[in-house]
Amino acid sequence: MSGILVIQEAGRNRISFEALAAGSALVELTGLSLETAAIGDPNSNVFVETSGTPPAVAHAIQHHLLETYTSDGYVHAFEQLIRKLDPSYIVFPHTYQTRDYAPRLATRFGQVLTSDVTAIEAGPAFVRQLFQGKMTGNYRHQGDGPCFISIQAGAFRANPPQEGKTTILPFEPQMTDDVIRTSPGAPFRGAAQTVDLGSAQLIVAVGRGIKDADNLPMVQELATALGAEIAASRPICDNGWLPMERQVGSSGQTVAPKLYLAVGISGAIQHLVGMKGSQCIVAINKDPEAPIFEVADYGIAGDLFEVVPALTEAIKAAGQ
């Protein structure tokens, strides 16, 4: 096909459609044609719902050994489809599943997955974040093999669906059960969720800048003064300073309150994906170049141990 193959993930339509939008951006830059592929029944949601101009062809990969996700199974199946189609570009949504199997798939072709791409520029050059968001890097693929990229959630906007007809081609890979070496169990929830941050209107979130668990009451006071829920970035929960259910980010909850006040949070992408949809974002951080300021509406570059108590006082005063 020598075109662009966009991999869709069943049950993850939104980010799959964003990957499709990134594929369309590549169509504009390269003039190549676009097809999609997903593992699943041709009648399943991932094929039925559409976004943007429908691709002329969608490949539905089916095999009973693919009913449960395993990296071995997916690598094996996609390897066969890619060898058959011979695309120039393969575009994935950057999900935990993609992170689990796509690097291995790329290695099988002697290639490297350029992961977590946030923009595609002329060349094509693939832009991704470095140093926890403090820098960006432009990557270029060289050589003849297929170019593998994965697209960060929220980086491309899914296009509204257009009229058109897609031919769904079934593809059954050759595979036997000895290909799959791991036995995955069914997904389960962690400790019962008693806090629903998703419905909170005001959130005060605390990060590594707080330095010590003993300093948390200061932030709790601010949250209480505001009538806000308290939340945290991953390291705070990793340390056991706040329960895991208060974690915001890719491994925690996704929130979109009216006000998200980030205290001592640098703004690594894993955190940003969980809160950047907030209506108003305030960041307090001592480092004026911290990536959190890139998504903030209001910023205070200063010592949180001075700013937070002052803010608590100001809110109390305003409330009286």
Rule CB under 8 A: which of 213-232 touch other proteins? 226
Among 193, 196, 199, 217, binds other proteins (CB under 8 A): 193
Among 184, 213, 262, 275, binds other proteins (CB under 8 A): 184
Rule CB under 8 A: which of 64-83 touch other proteins?
71-72
Residue 65's contacts (CB-CB under 8 Å, 6 or more residues apart) are 73, 175, 176, 177, 179, 180
- 11 touches other proteins (CB under 8 A): no
- 199 touches other proteins (CB under 8 A): no
- 113 touches other proteins (CB under 8 A): yes
Among 160, 185, 212, 320, binds other proteins (CB under 8 A): 185
- 122 touches other proteins (CB under 8 A): no
Query: Which window, 49-57, 77-85, 107-115, 212-220, contacts other proteins (CB under 8 A)?
Result: 107-115
- 183 touches other proteins (CB under 8 A): yes
In angstroms, the Cα distances linking 58 to 3, 7, 19 are 13, 10, 14
Rule CB under 8 A: which of 240-279 touch other proteins?
240, 244-245, 250-254, 258-259, 266, 269, 276, 279
- 298 touches other proteins (CB under 8 A): yes
- Cα–Cα distance measured from residue 115 to residue 76, given in angstroms and rounded to the nearest whole number: 20
Q: Which of 271, 278, 12, 252 is nearest to 151 (CA)?
A: 12
Measured from the CB atom, the residue of 165 and 192 that comes closer to other proteins is 192
Q: What angle do CA 96, 99, 103 make, to 5 degrees?
A: 165
Rule CB under 8 A: which of 12-41 touch other proteins?
none
Measured from the CB atom, the residue of 5 and 290 that comes closer to other proteins is 290
Rule CB under 8 A: which of 145-164 touch other proteins?
145
- Cα–Cα distance measured from residue 261 to residue 243, given in angstroms and rounded to the nearest whole number: 19
- Cα–Cα distance measured from residue 253 to residue 244, given in angstroms and rounded to the nearest whole number: 10
Residue owning tokens 């470095």: 130
- Cα–Cα distance measured from residue 170 to residue 43, given in angstroms and rounded to the nearest whole number: 11
Residue owning tokens 């700013």: 307
Residue 31's contacts (CB-CB under 8 Å, 6 or more residues apart) are none
In whole angstroms, the minimum distance from the beta carbon of 20 to other proteins comes to: 20
Among 130, 160, 165, 320, binds other proteins (CB under 8 A): 130
